[in-house]
Homo-oligomer: A and B are copies of this chain.
Amino acid sequence: MTEVTLGIDIGGTNSVIGLVNKEGGILAQTKVSTGDFPEVPDYVDAVCAAIDGLMDQAGDVELKGIGIGAPNGNYYNGTIEYAPNLVWDGIVPLVELFGARYPVPVVVTNDANAAAMGEMIYGGAKGMKNFIVLTLGTGLGSGIVVNGDVVYGHTGFAGEIGHTIVEPFGRDCGCGREGCLENYVSATGIIRTIQEIFADRRDDSTLRQLPQSELTSKAIAEAALDGDDLAIEAFERTAETLALSIVNSVAFSSPQAIFLFGGLANAGDLIFEPTRKHVNDMIQNIFENTFEILPSGLKESDAAVLGASALAWNELDK
């Protein structure tokens, strides 16, 4: 009998659900459309039916725990609380709902914290006790690990590096404030940066020919690889802001590594090289050469389910 945990990654559109063994092998995996279930009990029914299907499919397995990664997931309360991108309003008591169906520990946290746990249990942070994961997608999520545990803080909402203010009175943010990091360093942030550069510079660029809808972080990366000066400058400015944030995070919690994950991190050297250069220029001497800036050790398509399942393994180890 193989021991497994179940990882559920709840996104605005889909929830991905997978059975994972201790080595990080995904034994079975499926999807449920989150958006199709505006009523939470219906959603839970659909997910439980999917789980039962996965258990049958996987065969001789024993379910040990359930981990859930979700926007605004609160570890202490076992809830999703006021998630702007989900169909459910208010507070959703996920741990209670799934705990009533399966007699195993159920844990919930936000997706970036789950990513950090996945990195620690299956990825590049194996054996590390102090590290940070930055997920550079539409926004910027972060999971901070100190002494081998995700930092949840007093409220359960700690680890919001994407909402540290790097530019007072700067770019407006979905959180209602201005100047938060994620408006500069993310897939959408770099699009705003290239538009700023279009205003600052008169140089020609192939990107100027694109309709707004095609001006993506991927298009900017491709232009940069083709030697487009403005696109290269967009990565340079992004890296400089990211480096400042990394330097300040190191002063705070002195991690052994910072992992970059998601859309913008896939640009590889375009983002890693200037980031490392600026970090080297800005780092305080006592922290020189004490940490690395690394790509995630997880395959992007598996990372969400692995992170959620890692949450459950970690809880069982406590």
Interface residues of A (CB under 8 A from B): 72, 81, 128-130, 144, 146-147, 149, 151-161, 163-165, 168, 175-177, 244, 247-249, 251-256, 282, 284-287, 290-291
Q: Which residue of B lies closest to A283 (CB)?
A: B177
Please give 11 more A-B residue pairs, beta carbons under 8 A apart, in addition to A130-B158, A155-B290, A164-B252: A72-B286, A130-B153, A144-B252, A146-B151, A153-B255, A154-B255, A154-B290, A157-B254, A159-B254, A161-B252, A163-B284
Q: In the assembled complex, which residues on chain B have CB atoms less than 8 Å from the CB atom of A251?
A: 158, 160-161, 163-164
Copies in the complex: 2
Q: In the assembled complex, which residues on chain B have CB atoms less than 8 Å from the CB atom of A144?
A: 252-253
Q: In the assembled complex, which residues on chain B have CB atoms less than 8 Å from the CB atom of A176?
A: 285
Q: Is the CB of A284 within 8 A of B177?
A: yes
Min CB distance, A158 to chain B, in Å? 4
Q: Is the CB of B155 within 8 A of A286?
A: yes
Q: Is the CB of A153 within 8 A of B254?
A: yes
Q: In the assembled complex, which residues on chain B have CB atoms less than 8 Å from the CB atom of A254?
A: 151-159
Q: In the assembled complex, which residues on chain B have CB atoms less than 8 Å from the CB atom of A168?
A: 244
Q: In the assembled complex, which residues on chain B have CB atoms less than 8 Å from the CB atom of A154?
A: 128-130, 254-256, 290-291
